Structure 1
Amino acid sequence: MLALAVPEALFALPLAAYDLACCPRRLLLAMPAAALVASWRAPGLPVAAKVLMTGFVAAACLLAWRTGATRAQRAANLRERDDLAARSQALEMQNRDLRDKRELEVRLAVLEERSRIAREIHDNVGHLLTRAHLQAQAYQVVFAQDERVRSAFEAVGESLSEALDTVRTSVHDLHDDHIDLAAQIERIAAESGLSVRCRLEATVAPPQVAACLRAVTREALSNVARHADVRDVALTLAEHPGFWQLTIENDGVSDARRTAGSPAEARGGMGLVSLEERVQALGGTFRAGPIGTGGLAGGWRVFASIPKRQEA
């Protein structure tokens, strides 16, 4: 605007043209264009200066356009970099989950195979050795008068007794006293077909406790899948200083609330009654019923608590 009144202000026109060209409102470029046209009509400026200023204004507009394109490309590059970083993190998380799942499956397979071998040894080899040991002791009584024969059967009995001790030790080593309970509960939840939110704070438990809690989890999730209209299922496995605690809650309405007839049906079915008996056999507490307050209010809760036995 100053260049329209003072022709000497034409030398500042390229800077104004650059700033206005970078502005989103490109119509503002009409102002320096009008000033440039007015300068060509002004008689006080040499023609060389007018040509030079016109070239500078055109160069300023071109630089402004290139700067805008560079900024847009830089922003696109940054967005692409962020997208690649996000996809890379997602792939890394998926790979980590796959590795964890594979390790979990391998670990569970090893535990199951060890338990199977232990059962085979205990049920087959152990029983055969026990029978042979009893026969050797019986023959010692039968041939008690013959010292040489009795001594031979006594040596055989000692060897069989030593073999039995070795078998018992091997079975004990194969069937570990502490089983990865959290991994097995997580696998049962994944195989249930439900969207289960797991909070697993207990990792190991004795075999009988782990078997009972697995049965409770499997039966509870099976009942949820068959008899309840569920949107949310929450599973919590906790280990306290004196007991293990399992809680499974859902926000659906179970058919067990509407059952009537026998006492077993009124309490939720024979499956829950069987679970209650298993938990009570370990000295624990079992509850199954609607949720009054807390948790997923209005839903159904299965609760099991098993105390820890203090071994000598």
Structure 2
Amino acid sequence: MKAGTPLLPSLQSGGLRSWFFITGRLLAVVLLYVSVGELGIYFGGPESTSAFPPAGIAIGAPLILGYWCWPGVLVGAWIHGWSMGGVDPVYIIAVAVGNTLEGLAGAWLIRRFARGVRFTETPEDIVLFTLLAGVCTPLLSPPFGVPGVHLDSLAFWQHDASTLVVWWLGEVTSIVVLVPAMVLFLCPRALPVPRGGVYECLLLFGMLILISGAVFTTMPPEWAQSYLLPYLCVPFPLWAALRFGPRVTVLATSCQAIIALWATLNGKGIYAGTVPYKALMVYQGFTAVNSVFGLIVASVATERRLSREALKGTSVVLDRMMIQGGRTLPEERSVPPSQGTEPRATANRPGGRTRELSRFMESLENELEQHRQVELALTQMPQRIIEARDGERRRIAQELHDQLGQTLAALKIGLKLNSERSASAGGAAEALRPMELLVNQLIGDVHRLAWELRPPAIDVRGLPDALDAYIRQWASMTGLTVDFHSSLPDGMRLPPEVETAFYRVTQEGLTNVLKHASASRVSVLLDRRDGEVSLIIEDDGRGFEPGGARRPAGPGGGMGLAGIQERASAAGGSFQIESAPSSGTTLFVRIPLSPEPSISSSI
């Protein structure tokens, strides 16, 4: 089910107020469900519930309130079944369970495929709502409902599939009539102001009631073609859709459905002379098609009106921008004031307006293009800074190795020779020994610094070998146990910026473990999967609250977690951290690979 719509509500933060709020809504669902069911019984007796059952309430409530309101649907269905009398309680429960499952399934389908409570906005979503929620979900309820309601006479078997079809069509009619009405009137939504006024609306409903009453409650004359009479009711949903919008359209179709239902169930009107089951089928089919037709026309008309209003608003904004920019139309400058012509009148000429708007839009597009270029440059700046920094580190490492390293090596050799030559002197040799040890330490520090600035293993053997060598050295220096595993194929080379990013992230991650984690064991995993390479660093240390982790790095503190985030973002990847006090810390760095990485032989 969709995230944010649990089967049970959370009451931890609201206390008593939340209990009252939730209980009130559940009672409202129960009352609405029972009221619709009792209305059908009032119109035509207990058997009329199959003509217009409360299935629309069972779907509309979870759709609007959330799946947690299913107890209200279940209780309402049980009360409605119990009020009919003469039915085994076991089958009442079966019917209630079937109706509840139907409501949850219909609400989930609408949320998943038809944009939820916004399905009335486009014809495509209305069609999906009709097919999925209106046609498919009622199939869940009749297998439970038909044997339960007609158990005594076994009507399901005596009438073959007619009872099942009537029950199914009744559910379809209830869904396509009630669910849009609930959504449009209970969910806040900005709709355009209706074109028609109050008097036109009263005229619409007066004629609708008059014509619908004449069609469905009176017997037509013998010369009338009765099968054509329902078409007299079609213009009213069309009128409501084009002039008043979807809300009035739903009211109009609902009004027609109530009049037709009462007349059909009481043996009146054009369907009175047919078999009862056939009369119900014809009524249900007419009502469902009429409701869906009105919704589709209303959505198209509303969409066009909203687009027209948006275009008007855009034109007003452009006019204001042109005035604020000090621009004048060509026609304004060309007409002398002495002629007494209103400048604004000439400015409204279609040709001049179109040319001026074209020039203004062209200049606006140029400005937008400049903004896009600046944004692109700002986006690429972190990557360029990191590349420049890595290049400078590479140059410094090379200088340390080639210049200072060679000089120190020569100094070491000279000290050693002088030490050997002055061995006979005794005291001089002992005096040179500490200097030789100091030079050895200095040479080791220079080599280590050059290796950390740009390890040669990355350029020669690739990222996995470079990480393995660094982790081994780090483990030997710190005494911590480090497990390293790489699933990259042998000889696989990643883009240089990706290899550098992963190497630096590993350095900083292990440094953070040593400084802050108090861990005894660390695991490092380099993995490639689904077109991306991921680096995972996990320790068993004391952990922390991730919300307070991104603090500025102090002296000697390295780039910190913010630097890891910067490295990952510059390489086009993502950074995630999971931690909790006394539960260790895990770092995730994922970088996608757009081109296929190359596989070369290792040197």
TM-score of the two chains, using structure 2 as the length reference: 0.20
Q: Bigger radius of gyration, 1 or 2?
A: 1
TM-score, reference length from structure 1: 0.37
Q: Which has the higher contact order (CA 8 A, sep 6+)?
A: 1
